[in-house]
Structure 1
Amino acid sequence: MATLEQAQVLVTLLENELNARTGEAERLNGYYRGEQPLRFASSEFRDYFAQRYRGFADNWTQVVADSPVERLTVTGVKPAGSDGADRELWRVWQVNGLDADSQLGFLGAGTTARSFVLVWGNPDDDSTPEVTFEDARECVVAYKPGSRRRRRAALKRWQDGHTEFATLYLPDEVWKFQRPLLRHARSFHPTGPGGGMTWRPRDTGDEPNPQPNPLGRVPVVELANRPTLADEPMSDVAGTVAMQDAINLLWSQLFTAADYAAFPQRVILGADMPTTPVLDENGQVVGEKPVPMEKFAVDRVLWITGEQAKIAEWSAANLAAYTDVIEVAVGHIAAQTRTPQHYLIGRMANLSGDALIAAETGLVKRVEEKQLWFGQSLREMFALIALAQGDQAKARAIAAGSVLWADAESRSQAQLADALLKLQQVGFPFEWIAARYGLTPTEIADLLAMKEREAAADPIGAIAAEMGRS
């Protein structure tokens, strides 16, 4: 059990870590949304044109982040020793809307290098715990020394109106704090005596504070994107930022060149500027003034006087030079992030099915890597759900089980049906084939029930059909 002073110290330490991460997470989220400042430009170019191109972005970082997420679909979880997926855990998944919210969690992890999932009891329904995916700017997890999985504590911080809230999760208890919001919730806050920003215990009414943690584990799990042995996990977006900045600069230079030099620029040599007389109130010429150049553009007539007058021109700018370099830069993004070029270039030739599969091999492997790492975290999430339901045996089985995913490879229905038929012919069971097809455990159970009803209604026909398939 921690004392109030120990809990406040731990909140401060975790908050400092959260503050250190928030700036980078904000920047990467901004790039994903297309909020990208003009960089790599000379000071002169920036002084003249930065405001003109403010808000413009040829946003490729969004495509890079989205492309694996659209293939990350959880279809169930299978405990160790079980013959099939667990229907009760899938019910909790569905009730919490995680088929949709999990996509947000996967996208957040890919963009900012990590996201989190929180499991806690539901006061309105003891059998259905509440499960929510959390943003990297609001959560942080501390691990025990020497471990990347054994969680020591977690902090969730958020704001509501003019108050900032924090919840500290420990294996045996949960502390709830609050403080006035003096500045933006995602900026650094001075803490400690005299700072005016020390976290104070929240008034929770009849609920104790701290309250016991019945799970016996820290209920916040981190989904780390591209983790490493010693350093922080890596964002899918961070590696594209520099090339994205270069592409935006090239577009701004192309637009500027198109504005100033896309058409031949003409110059008149050996002639005075055209002028028009200035008359006084009596009609007498008292001076002259240059004729506005806009008049010649409108009238499309220009009178040139002088024996030596002649016209020359500069050639139009070659704008294709810019687009060629931009295409090369986009190709670099495709190669570095294993994003298929047809996702980025938007141009496809008549590719065969095998050629298209080969073009997407890098993306498929990237998705499978995410399934591996995210799957570990989701197993722990499902184990926490089982603990919240009071089923410790299931929690242990889930820890050694597996998360079921939809196929990461994109195939036509004809290709998929042909592959599954061949697998059935060599002896793969129907339930495995149905899961490979992409059906959820609930859909598989419904399909099996339909087959049983068909067999009961026409047993001879069912036997004949089975013999025909074999």
Structure 2
Amino acid sequence: MATEDEARAAVARLSRELQDRRPHIERRIDYFKGREGRLRFASDEFRDYFKKRFEGFSDNWCMPVAQSPAERMNPLGIRLEAESRRADLDLQRVWLASDADRDASEAFQVFVVAARAFALVAPNPRDATTPRITFEHPAQAIVEYDPATRESRYGMTVWTDDKWDYATLYTRREVWKYQRQTGLDRDPARPDRPTPLSVDWVPREVQGETWPAPNPLGAVPLVELRNQSLLDDEPMSDIGGVMAMQDSINLVWAYLLNALDYASLPQRVVLKSDVPKVPILDETGNVVGSRPVELDELLRERIMFLPGKDATIGEWTAAQLDSYSRVIEQAVEHIAAQTRTPPHYLVAKLVNTSAESLTVAEAGLVSKTLERITYVNPALRQVYRLVALAQGDDAKARAAAAGEIMWRDVQYRSEAQRADALAKKKAIGYPLEYLLELDGVPPWDIPRILEMARRERTDPTMERIARDLSGSGAPGGR
């Protein structure tokens, strides 16, 4: 059990660590959304002149790179029994009742982009058999581990309103709730990055609850989904390397857009003539002098003056701009290779491509997605374990800790390819139930299909139709 001093110290420590993480998390998510990674400019003058003209433009490659593995991560349940290896339908009922199928999809996307996401399991006071599963944003949740055992020691969620910062600290035995006054302190050296004021956390008492409240699960209910790391505490984002490449691409785009505006049309040149001047008038309208036409005005009119006698007029033909586009295409190819994203996900140039060719092109993405599933599996096993603990079923909780998470096939196949593979496996003796699993049928739907198949075999009318379709006239013939 944690003492009050230990809990208060943990809240202060974890809130500071979470504050340090937030800039990195928010930056990655901004790149994914396209709010960062906009046009880059090589000089301040270039930026000042062209930024407003192309404001809002962003060639966003972070989104397809991050979406491609996340959209293939679709859990179907968990197998517990060592003998039957069937999915536990009650745990899956809880999963669906919590809308976790949708929320998990969003959490997997955040896990890929921000390198972390979190799941929280809580008892349901209205229905003890249906605990609640929610997924938390990595900017609002954190887990601290025991350095010796790597087990969760503390979990904390935070949120803010106009007046207060709130924190809920979870230990194995207690739930500590705190709050502090909301405020932002601006460092003069970094006015762009406000930090919370140094205000102590005070107990947050909820009517009808003791303080601290007991934790009925006997385990930290907050679970971290961590992306790939290098045996350290720094999981890596799938778009970590794409962000810099996206900045480079948008720099080239800035040059290209400028070239489209200034070099794609013929440019007029006036030779051997003085630069035109405009008169300067006094308050009464009398001419008191003259000044040359502003250079910016000449640029807008696409005119260049070269002073001298005997003026003549010439022009430059339109510039060739494909050198810029080739650089962008090369950079996009590098992104595809470095992130194992199929090229046709980034550049749509497929024409009459065979299914076999697509399978080969997506092999890297399939391997990458299976790798991400490997990182997510321990967290999902822990989520199902916590659900069983919330239901009061310790035996099921122990089984869930070593259960097998079931996933929909991450390899996209055409219906013809899949049907052909299943028919061949049926021919060599694979049972129907296993074939249904390979076909991606949800576990809760398999018993219904098996029962339909049983009724079909025992129905005389359906048996006669099956014989006729198989081409055999004898009862039971093949």
**TM-score normalised over the length of structure 1:** 0.88
Q: Is the 8 A contact 2:225 2:376 kept in 1?
A: yes
Task: State the Cα distance separating 1:275 from its structure 2 match.
Answer: 8.7
- Could you report, residue by residue, the CA deviation over 1:209-266 in whole angstroms, capped at 9, with x for unpaired residues? 2111121111111111113212411001111010000111111111111111211211
Q: Give identity over the alignment, percent.
A: 45
2:381 matches 1:379 = yes
Task: State the Cα distance separating 1:407 from its structure 2 match.
Answer: 0.5
Alignment of 1:276-291 (within 5 A): none
CA distance in 2, matches of 1:269, 1:213: 86
CA distance in 2, matches of 1:170, 1:403: 26
Task: State the Cα distance separating 1:288 from its structure 2 match.
Answer: 9.8
- Could you report, residue by residue, the CA deviation over 1:333-381 in whole angstroms, capped at 9, with x for unpaired residues? 1011100000001211322111110000000001111111111210111
Alpha-carbon distance change, 155 to 462 in structure 1, aligned in 2, over 3 angstroms: farther
2:142 matches 1:140 = yes
- Counterpart of 1:188, as a letter, is T
2:196 matches 1:189 = yes
Q: Is the 8 A contact 2:122 2:132 kept in 1?
A: yes
Q: Is the 8 A contact 1:80 1:398 kept in 2?
A: no
Task: State the Cα distance separating 1:269 from its structure 2 match.
Answer: 1.4
Alignment of 1:443-458 (within 5 A): 443-458=445-460
- Report the secondary structure of 2:36's partner residue: coil
CA distance in 1, matches of 2:290, 2:168: 79
Equivalent position of 2:88 in the other structure = 86
Alpha-carbon distance change, 173 to 259 in structure 1, aligned in 2, over 3 angstroms: same
CA distance in 2, matches of 1:307, 1:2: 91
Equivalent position of 1:111 in the other structure = 113
Equivalent position of 1:66 in the other structure = 67
Once structures 1 and 2 are overlaid, which stretch shifts more, 337-346 or 445-454?
445-454
2:26 matches 1:26 = yes
CA distance in 2, matches of 1:218, 1:469: 60
Equivalent position of 1:308 in the other structure = 310
- Could you report, residue by residue, the CA deviation over 1:418-463 in whole angstroms, capped at 9, with x for unpaired residues? 1111112222221221111111111112212222332333374498
Structure 2 portions without partners, runs of 5+: 186-192, 281-286, 299-307
CA distance in 1, matches of 2:294, 2:393: 86
Equivalent position of 2:302 in the other structure = none
Alpha-carbon distance change, 276 to 79 in structure 1, aligned in 2, over 3 angstroms: closer
CA distance in 2, matches of 1:469, 1:313: 87
Task: State the Cα distance separating 1:146 from its structure 2 match.
Answer: 3.4
Alpha-carbon distance change, 252 to 454 in structure 1, aligned in 2, over 3 angstroms: same
Alpha-carbon distance change, 393 to 50 in structure 1, aligned in 2, over 3 angstroms: same
- Report the secondary structure of 1:204's partner residue: coil
Once structures 1 and 2 are overlaid, which stretch shifts more, 325-334 or 153-162?
153-162
Task: State the Cα distance separating 1:292 from its structure 2 match.
Answer: 12
- Could you report, residue by residue, the CA deviation over 1:62-121 in whole angstroms, capped at 9, with x for unpaired residues? 111111111111111111414310100110111111111111010010010010100010
Alignment of 1:206-221 (within 5 A): 206-221=208-223
Q: Is the 8 A contact 1:425 1:469 kept in 2?
A: no
2:417 matches 1:415 = yes
Equivalent position of 2:154 in the other structure = 153
CA distance in 1, matches of 2:76, 2:437: 8
Alpha-carbon distance change, 310 to 227 in structure 1, aligned in 2, over 3 angstroms: same
Task: Count residues with an aligned counterpart.
Answer: 455
- Counterpart of 2:214, as a letter, is P
Q: Is the 8 A contact 2:456 2:463 kept in 1?
A: no
- Report the secondary structure of 1:52's partner residue: helix
CA distance in 1, matches of 2:176, 2:42: 49
- Counterpart of 1:174, as a letter, is V
Alpha-carbon distance change, 469 to 70 in structure 1, aligned in 2, over 3 angstroms: farther
Alpha-carbon distance change, 418 to 286 in structure 1, aligned in 2, over 3 angstroms: same
CA distance in 1, matches of 2:90, 2:370: 26
RMSD of the TM alignment (CA)? 3.2
- Counterpart of 1:189, as a letter, is P
CA distance in 2, matches of 1:72, 1:128: 24
CA distance in 1, matches of 2:380, 2:24: 25
Alignment of 1:212-291 (within 5 A): 212-271=214-273
Equivalent position of 1:301 in the other structure = none
